[in-house]
Structure formats: structure tokens, C-alpha cells
Amino acid sequence: MIAYLKGTIAGISKSSGNRWTLILEVNQIGYELQIPPLLAQQLPEIGAITQVFTHFQIKEDQTVLYGFGSTAERDLFRQLISVSGIGAALAIALIDTLGLPDLVQAIVTGNIRALTKTPGVGNKTAERIALELKTKLSQWRTETGLSKAIPSSPSAAIIEDVEMTLLALGYTNNEVSKAIKAVSEDGLIAKSKNAEDWIRGAISWLSQAIE
């Protein structure tokens, strides 16, 4: 309904339960958005122009507009609230506690310990998040038609984990393919059978390549 809003920051405030609200003025209309605490810290000063990506949620008793710093963060939020028992507050807490890259990596690799660092997320909830969302990310990866130039090592499963993670972080198919090729040529990482090593290496390579 509303993909994003770009306007002037009119106010940022914190209420009970570590809930942050951004007032964004767009064409003389003030939009109230609930945002992750981390985004509240990253926003420029009041009066500055900024852009936030939004999710509009309609409930029986209220409507809420949520704001995020990137489309990848917004899309992951949508995936999280689609998991049984995960509401908007817990989804935002997951994103805020781990940060987008580490959260996606934890989901893809099934790192339950990392997911349970978020207050309110126990082992069973973490297992459900990892299982349901990895399945959805796997389906999404297949739908993208990402070409698979898989090297002889590591296993195809590790390459799939890397691809799912990078796609969920908003990288393009071309960027993903280049990152995997580059990391596979790194002697130390290429010997690793740990998907997390490959993921960290790919993200590091992409961050330098895109700059």
C-alpha cells in the first residue's frame, strides 16, 4: 500500500517498552511510524530529510505504520510476522538485537543460540523461526532463478545457505554469483565446511566491492 515515505524528520520519541516512534512530515502530512530502536539511533537530526521503507498493518482495534531503514529489513520483518506466534514487537526485537546480517545468517544456518539472545525468544520459538523461514527463503531463492556455478567444494548445501542469506540481505543475483566465486577462490574460506565462514566472507567481499 505504502512502499516507502521520504520527508522531513519532525520528531523521534521513545515510549514504554523501548518502543520508538518517528514522525515524518511528507507534503505537510505528519506520518507516525513505529521503528526499531537501532534505526532511531541511526537517523539524522530533526529537520533532516530521510527515507524509510514501510509496512502498514491493520488490526481489529488499530492500524500501525512501521518504518525500516532498508527494503531487506522491511521484507524480513514481514517474513518474521508470518511465523506462528511472532508478533510485530518480537519481530522488531529480533531485528534490533541481532542486526539484519546476523539475524538472516542465524535463520539460514539454524543458529538457535544466536536467535535466543533476543528477549522473549526461547528455544522452541527460535527453532520454529529457523525452520519456517529457511523453508521460505529456500523457495524464494529457487524463484529468483539464481544460476548455480557451484565449485567442487564446499557442498551444495553451503552454497545454498550463502545464496539464501545474500538474497535476503537485498543483494542481486549477479552480486551473489560474483561474491560466491570470489570467496571460493579464497584459500582459507574454501577449506571451511562452516557456512557461516562463507557467509561472513561473502558479505565482507561485497561490502568492499560495492564501495
DSSP string, 151-210: -SSS-HHHHHHHHHHHHHTT--HHHHHHHHHHHHT-HHHHT---HHHHHHHHHHHHHHHH
Across 134-156, average pLDDT: 68
pLDDT in tens, 77-118: 999 999 988 999 999 999 999 999 999 999 999 999 999 999
Residue 37: pLDDT band (50, 70, 90) is: very high
pLDDT in tens, 64-79: 999 999 999 999 999 9
* Cα–Cα dist 100/170, whole Å: 11
Q: At what angle do helices 71-81 and 123-144 cross, to 10 degrees?
A: 120
pTM, to two decimals: 0.84
Residue that wins the pLDDT comparison between 151 and 179: 179
Residue that wins the pLDDT comparison between 96 and 61: 96
The answer to whether the beta carbons of residues 9 and 39 sit under 8 Å apart is no
Residue that wins the pLDDT comparison between 23 and 85: 23
Other C-beta atoms lying within 10 Å of the C-beta of residue 88? 16
Q: Residue 94: helix, strand or coil by DSSP?
A: helix
151 pLDDT above the threshold of 70: no
190 pLDDT above the threshold of 80: no
Q: For residue 132, what are the CA distances in angstroms to 17, 73, 79, 129, 193?
A: 27, 18, 9, 5, 24
DSSP letters spanning 100-149: HHHHHHHHHHT-HHHHTTSTT--HHHHHHHHHHHHHHHHHHHHHHT----
Across 32-47, average pLDDT: 94
Question: Using omega within 30 degrees of 0 as the cis cutoff, is the peptide bond preceding 154 cis?
Answer: yes
Residue 211: pLDDT band (50, 70, 90) is: low
Which residue do the cell numbers 529480533 mark?
94
Residue that wins the pLDDT comparison between 17 and 9: 9
* Cα–Cα dist 92/77, whole Å: 7
